[in-house]
Structure 1
């Protein structure tokens, strides 16, 4: 008999068989609350979560069963309902990972709309995101858990940005909690204490529906102003099911999680997908993979909990490849990697060191989370994976008038995706019905423009070739930065590379590159520029300069941040043009664009400065320094 919910899915050839049955017939839960309720009913006594207080306390987790987790979520969801949170009201969540944050996130999606926020942001940015999401209630880390988050939350409450503060304690906290201040007009208290008297057996308000909004996530894009992408419950459940459907893991498999819950990967891959399969998840402490002590204990954690899989970004695997394996890690079937391109050297180092295959994936917040995945037993070099079941991917050519033309398999174009995980739009405002959504030009006839350049082969495997917005246009000639980056990565001293366009008043742009070197290597920027010139297929792509950095900039979710590099390249270009004048040049990123500031002494002839600046189509301003 065919298992409708869990088909056999272990290799690329299984995709066609899976899709022969319509998704609607597979019996997926309708909402994330239904996912949790099903798990608690099916496996009430099985451990669902073991949350570590920190890396050194890895043998002293706070563990809850699926039944206990449902009880906790019901209490918090009922508290939110009691405090006035309705189905289309957002609840902000500002805290590093901890046991209570997992409960609060699921409860916020049950009572209203969860709006997780990176606790590393400044209070001003947090306030902006809360206003854009429409959240008036904020779940926030208490002073023991994260002092900076607490200070931001308290400040926003005093400024009137929110009228409810629900405070989280550290995982496994004992003893009396610190006293909290009173703020006029603000409901404020520890979440666990306020929720303790709420019913745990059932919800007091109607449960959500599949089409209801479940969450609002700040996009982790590499260009432009970050937006708030809305997800429906159906988006999240179907994407989690697509990930959980892999046959290589079963209900006995243990998953390790350490990515922050303000990122969709943590929610979909390491929370909802395991809930669907009844899998036990071991969560790292508040700092996640950023906690230095975690690496020292990591392999013993894998052995102790018999971890079968994990999810992380390439930099984590690069670090773990240097950590001696001091335990039996034979339980680990494979490790998932995404968020940014996986350098071949990182894959080789990690797999050679551990024997654990890395399974690459691809996704974006606007498609909920994951849209493609690889297979450990059937690797496809150069690909980020095969499209997931019931999602569709193709490359298109986009004309200047906006017309799309489908490209044949293996032709390079802009990657577009359709299917049940494509989001309904960005939050652009609010009315009495709740958030107002707009696709902002990324959606067309149910297809999502990813902004990535790629080719899609006959088997549905996606081969990324760059970002459409990252193209370097030299005298009208398009240069794919990946060709330069690949050339530099072939040099034995280079461990990371990124190429961007540097403004040039003759050619519009010329390519330059930024690299990170392996420790102790003597290569210079001039050496590497000469090397790349000999490796790239066309002279126009030879970088004019190569700059050596300690690390390439990334976004707060670990994606390469080329806009920062373009700003640096812009600063260098204008500083060179103005080198004959006693000025200083700054280039900053503002609202997704680069702005140049030139500071001049009081007695300089500003016309000489303007003459150089007018050669560039870049916003700039002059500031005259006064004695």
Structure 2
């Protein structure tokens, strides 16, 4: 059964001018499903026998995926939900999910949202970090990668389960695992079992004692990227998730039979909203990469064949994925690929040009953040595309820029005026989880939301049509002698070099200018002869102004990422500070390796090795560092 184009749920939405027509109908009159469970139930009723999900075992065995129809997915969710309910999961109870992708994970997440609240956590986190986030969520049950799927995650899960005194730990197996599963080690006081076995004992009809959620109920806690500190748990309501997924699914650039490729992990909001819920709303098939997702090197070797085999129409990924794909020969028919979506970080012009030239497939940039559920803007194709922008605001979302004065007050700016981007509308989150009491989680926006407007922390321009042009993170600007430098112009320049695969620019403390730009890059494996001097000269010829030319370019084996895979500049800023201090103290016997630097109260705090047997050293160090705006101190002897 297909939904006709005239269905009021799906207005025409293929060009920017459609936005006004869409918003002429109030959102409440659109008759959206109220919850993620209603999205699933609707899909199973409309398209029971249509393929919903295909989970690949890994990139090398991509042709041996495990498929599920919409009806089977609903039955899986019912069985798992009944299991969770039997273990005491209720509306405000969190179910932790500590696992990479595998076939039963989407059903487990949707079941957690049906009975309680889903709390997916990156399984690559240290045990301590994972435990902190899951403790904050109040998780009482944990679903985790079993020993075959991810041995390290399984070890963490056992430790976390015991520490949190969870009632049950359910293990997930890899796609295509042999029939005989290894025995699971017990955990004192905890029921330990395989999820597929425990769920199979439950009926496919939903237990009458399960009270379905309402639109305003909490659906999930997603940990933020932690670009400026420790990750926080952002809460989403069912209405947040369904509304955002509908805005994305309303895209008229895809037909009803379009297939979506999913390579991002389900602890990332993009994976949930863009590649799970949005396809569920339109009855589309989504093909999920193996446990490593886009981090599997073999995926790129086989990617074009996967596109051809499944007739992939679109995918969503970060810029580094498209940079890698632009270097992979197209060895298959990729005519089904209409466009590719890029988000999570700004799209460098060099990456766009290389990918589109190599494949003939246009890139559509989007923008969003966890605190606004996921997507806030979307791009368009052909004559309606605006390559320099991050897209137009989504329906019923409002965007503007503000100037923040010295006392923290916001002042609205006119269209086209750069400032801090703020967002309002039905996707703005209710707050971070800051604790729990007898009634459930305590939420607080921690000052990020004022009168319904969310401070994104990004600098941008917004034009009269609602198109957003990103200008960088407010805290990432390099301020050289009072002159603002967007690090993206340096990164774009370096990414134009054929050997550079990644670039990140930050400010390095400077006694004369306050900051000067420096950059960190990764190189293609064969680029062993490319050095810093060549890259400095290359960038200097291509940046739009001399002040933006990097003073140094450091080659790294990999650039740091946050827990959800976004570029993480804090370690680079701290390293740049250490290098600046080492340069200032040259000749005093203090090496770069001896200098310790951390973030404290929003500033870099430098600790030097203790003074031992060097008369006058303290005074010489003090004199050399005096011109720098730094907090520094000698370590105590013996530490």
Class of the TM-score when normalised by the shorter of the 2 chains: over 0.9
Superposed CA offset, 1:494-546 (max 9, x none): 55443322223454333333344565496654455456566656665454333
Match in the other structure for 1:227: 232
> 1:42-61 residue pairs with structure 2 within 5 A?
42-61=46-65
Whole-Å separation in 2 of the counterparts to 1:590 and 1:175? 52
Query: In the superposition, relative to structure 1, how do residues 184 and 527 fare at CA in structure 2: closer, same or farther (>3 Å)?
Result: closer
- Is 2:402 the counterpart of 1:387? no
CA contact (8 A) 1:373 1:387 kept: yes
The alignment of Structure 1 onto Structure 2 pairs a total of residues equal to 627
Whole-Å separation in 2 of the counterparts to 1:241 and 1:620? 51
Q: CA deviation at 1:184?
A: 1.9
> 1:71-82 residue pairs with structure 2 within 5 A?
71-82=75-86
Unaligned runs of 5+ in 2: none
Query: In the superposition, relative to structure 1, how do residues 592 and 332 fare at CA in structure 2: closer, same or farther (>3 Å)?
Result: farther
Query: In the superposition, relative to structure 1, how do residues 601 and 464 fare at CA in structure 2: closer, same or farther (>3 Å)?
Result: same
- Is 2:571 the counterpart of 1:564? yes
CA contact (8 A) 2:76 2:107 kept: yes
> 1:154-303 residue pairs with structure 2 within 5 A?
154-203=158-207, 204-303=209-308
Report the secondary structure of 1:509's partner residue. Answer: strand
Match in the other structure for 1:581: 588
Match in the other structure for 1:428: 434
Deviation larger for 99-108 or 183-192? 183-192
Match in the other structure for 1:87: 91
Whole-Å separation in 1 of the counterparts to 2:61 and 2:495? 39
Whole-Å separation in 2 of the counterparts to 1:491 and 1:145? 38
- Is 2:12 the counterpart of 1:5? no
Query: In the superposition, relative to structure 1, how do residues 488 and 182 fare at CA in structure 2: closer, same or farther (>3 Å)?
Result: closer
Q: CA deviation at 1:129?
A: 0.7
Match in the other structure for 1:337: 342
- Is 2:145 the counterpart of 1:141? yes
CA contact (8 A) 1:602 1:624 kept: no
- Is 2:78 the counterpart of 1:68? no
CA contact (8 A) 1:130 1:136 kept: no
CA contact (8 A) 1:250 1:277 kept: no
Whole-Å separation in 1 of the counterparts to 2:578 and 2:102? 41
Match in the other structure for 1:514: 520
CA contact (8 A) 1:564 1:589 kept: no
Q: CA deviation at 1:420?
A: 0.5
Match in the other structure for 2:634: 622
Whole-Å separation in 2 of the counterparts to 1:252 and 1:2? 17
Superposed CA offset, 1:178-232 (max 9, x none): 1112222212211122222222212431000000010000112422222111100
Whole-Å separation in 1 of the counterparts to 2:135 and 2:346? 33
CA contact (8 A) 2:490 2:539 kept: yes
Query: In the superposition, relative to structure 1, how do residues 386 and 396 fare at CA in structure 2: closer, same or farther (>3 Å)?
Result: same
Q: CA deviation at 1:618?
A: 4.1
Deviation larger for 169-178 or 34-43? 169-178
Match in the other structure for 2:553: 546
Match in the other structure for 1:473: 479
Report the secondary structure of 1:470's partner residue. Answer: coil
Report the secondary structure of 2:459's partner residue. Answer: strand
Whole-Å separation in 2 of the counterparts to 1:38 and 1:17? 26
Superposed CA offset, 1:271-310 (max 9, x none): 0000000011111111111112222222121111111111
1:437 to 439, 443, 449: 443
Query: In the superposition, relative to structure 1, how do residues 58 and 546 fare at CA in structure 2: closer, same or farther (>3 Å)?
Result: closer
Whole-Å separation in 1 of the counterparts to 2:544 and 2:205? 66
Whole-Å separation in 2 of the counterparts to 1:467 and 1:345? 20
- Is 2:566 the counterpart of 1:555? no
Report the secondary structure of 2:589's partner residue. Answer: coil
Query: In the superposition, relative to structure 1, how do residues 429 and 626 fare at CA in structure 2: closer, same or farther (>3 Å)?
Result: closer
Q: CA deviation at 1:620?
A: 4.2
Superposed CA offset, 1:343-363 (max 9, x none): 222222222222211111111
> 1:22-61 residue pairs with structure 2 within 5 A?
22-61=26-65
Deviation larger for 92-101 or 303-312? 303-312
Q: CA deviation at 1:558?
A: 3.1
Query: In the superposition, relative to structure 1, how do residues 218 and 11 fare at CA in structure 2: closer, same or farther (>3 Å)?
Result: same
Whole-Å separation in 1 of the counterparts to 2:30 and 2:598? 50
Query: In the superposition, relative to structure 1, how do residues 593 and 361 fare at CA in structure 2: closer, same or farther (>3 Å)?
Result: same
Whole-Å separation in 2 of the counterparts to 1:11 and 1:476? 40
Query: In the superposition, relative to structure 1, how do residues 168 and 491 fare at CA in structure 2: closer, same or farther (>3 Å)?
Result: closer
Match in the other structure for 1:455: 461
Whole-Å separation in 2 of the counterparts to 1:483 and 1:185? 56
CA contact (8 A) 1:224 1:593 kept: no
Report the secondary structure of 1:309's partner residue. Answer: strand
Whole-Å separation in 1 of the counterparts to 2:55 and 2:15? 32
Deviation larger for 436-445 or 402-411? 402-411
Q: CA deviation at 1:484?
A: 4.0
Unaligned runs of 5+ in 1: none
TM-score by length of 2: 0.92
Match in the other structure for 1:102: 106
Whole-Å separation in 2 of the counterparts to 1:552 and 1:376? 31
Query: In the superposition, relative to structure 1, how do residues 97 and 489 fare at CA in structure 2: closer, same or farther (>3 Å)?
Result: closer
Superposed CA offset, 1:432-486 (max 9, x none): 1111111111101111111111001121111001111112334444443344445
CA contact (8 A) 1:225 1:592 kept: no
Report the secondary structure of 2:595's partner residue. Answer: strand
Whole-Å separation in 1 of the counterparts to 2:505 and 2:288? 36
Query: In the superposition, relative to structure 1, how do residues 335 and 436 fare at CA in structure 2: closer, same or farther (>3 Å)?
Result: same
Q: CA deviation at 1:594?
A: 4.0
Superposed CA offset, 1:206-261 (max 9, x none): 00000001000011242222211110000000000011001122321111111111
Match in the other structure for 1:112: 116
Superposed CA offset, 1:78-130 (max 9, x none): 11111111101111100000011111111111111111000111101111111
Whole-Å separation in 1 of the counterparts to 2:522 and 2:386? 27
CA contact (8 A) 1:337 1:360 kept: yes
Report the secondary structure of 1:469's partner residue. Answer: coil
Q: CA deviation at 1:7?
A: 0.5
Report the secondary structure of 2:231's partner residue. Answer: coil
